[in-house]
Amino acid sequence: MKIWQMIRSHLLWLLSAGFLGVLFFASSTDLLITEQSSEVSRISVILDDVSDVNYENFRKGAEQAALELRADVRFITLYEAGSEEGQRELVLREQEDGAEALIISAMREREASEMIASQQVHIPVIFLRGDVVIQNNYSAANLNSDYYVMGRKLAETVTEHFPETVPVYYISTGRLYGASRRYLDGAESILENTGYRRERSVRAVNETKMTKIRRLEEEEEEAVLIALDRTSLLHAMRYREAKGEDGKILGLYGPGTGIEVLSGLERGLVDGICITDDYAEGYLAVSMAAARIGHHNTPMQSRTLEGHYIEKEDLEKGTYERILYPME
């Protein structure tokens, strides 16, 4: 009888030990999974300007994706406006400092392509607002809106509202690349076969140095302006407001969002704008980058988002409210 009691006691002890072992293994596995899932991805966003003011809605989308995907997203601006070499140095610095993926608004698309091809950059890269030639789509992808189509729409609107005797001025803040180049290419695909006279080499540095626009006043020439970037649109809008009814700007069109641009559209200082879903772009850019970290065996897919042309009436209808005023 005592023998059976001893055997039963040993069996109970063994079963209890086994059960505790299972519990320990389960808890250890859960801890391991929890530790793995709590890892934070490091992603650097390198912009093409000294300020991120033109990326306001993009940043909101990027930060929301970072919150959901447990990513640490750093926004980095240039030290000096227009510094292409400075941007290259920032790219290499961020990679060396431990970034696991990069999101870049490349100023020089050819050099960006060469950096990927030569493997100077060996972590995943998402290129914004340009057409970087990517030979190895296992390491990089483009994320754009359809700027070419929107440029065409701007030009088509001009032809619908103004005769060919009215010259068209393209204005930009500097060298054309990325989105601004695509806007111009799209507009020219419409206007180059018409009788409109176009001025291309225009730089709207700031409100006091818009020499080409001031020529409108000096020569008493009226013209339509097509801005190729948001900053130029803002400068021209402010200039138009300052001149009032005495100004020579018959029409002003271009890309842009933000409170000041939308206010200008509502007050008639801007006649039409092209808008992109910058919030979705930011969210998608971080999502694409985060998904690529640690997974290099499948090709990366480039994406193109749809753009929209709107006028004052569209603001009143509220059709694009989600894009223009994304949630915090």
Q: What is the pLDDT of residues 72-110, one digit of tens each?
A: 999 999 888 777 788 999 999 999 999 999 999 988 888
Distances (CA, A) of 326 to 58, 247, 309: 10, 34, 18
Burial (Cβ within 10 Å: 0-12, 13-18, ≥19) of residue 298: exposed
Residue 271 tokens read as 């006649």
Mean pLDDT of the 9-34 span = 45
- 231 Cβ contact partners less than 8 Å away, ≥ 6 residues apart: 54, 173, 204
SS3 state at 312: helix
pTM beyond cutoff 0.75: yes
For residue 230, what are its two tokens?
């948001």
Give the tens place of pLDDT for each residue, 252-265.
999 998 889 999 99
**What is the rounded distance in angstroms from the CA atom of residue 97 to the CA atom of residue 139?**
19
Q: What DSSP designation does 311 have?
A: -
Strand order in the sheet with 303-305: 71-76, 41-46, 101-104, 125-128, 140-145, 303-305
Rounded to the nearest 10 degrees, the angle between the axes of helix 211-218 and helix 230-243 is 30
d(CA 90, CA 115): 13
> CA-CA distance, 27 to 18, in Å (whole number)?
14
* pLDDT greater than 80 at residue 280: yes
Of residues 135 and 273, more confidence is placed in: 273
What sign does the CA torsion over 283, 287, 289, 293 have? positive
What's the whole-number average pLDDT of the chain?
83
User: What confidence category does residue 37 fall into, taking pLDDT thresholds of 50, 70 and 90?
Assistant: very low
Q: What is the pLDDT of residue 210?
A: 56
Q: Percentage of the chain with pLDDT > 90?
A: 50
- Predicted confidence (pLDDT) at residue 175 exceeds the cutoff of 80: no
* Per-residue CA distances from 75 to 48, 86, 131, 177, 280 (Å): 11, 15, 21, 21, 17
Q: Residue 308's beta-bridge partner residues?
A: 275
- Asked if residue 138 lies in contact with residue 170, where contact means CB atoms within 8 angstroms, the answer is no
Of the pLDDT bands very low, low, confident and very high (cuts 50, 70, 90), residue 64 is very high
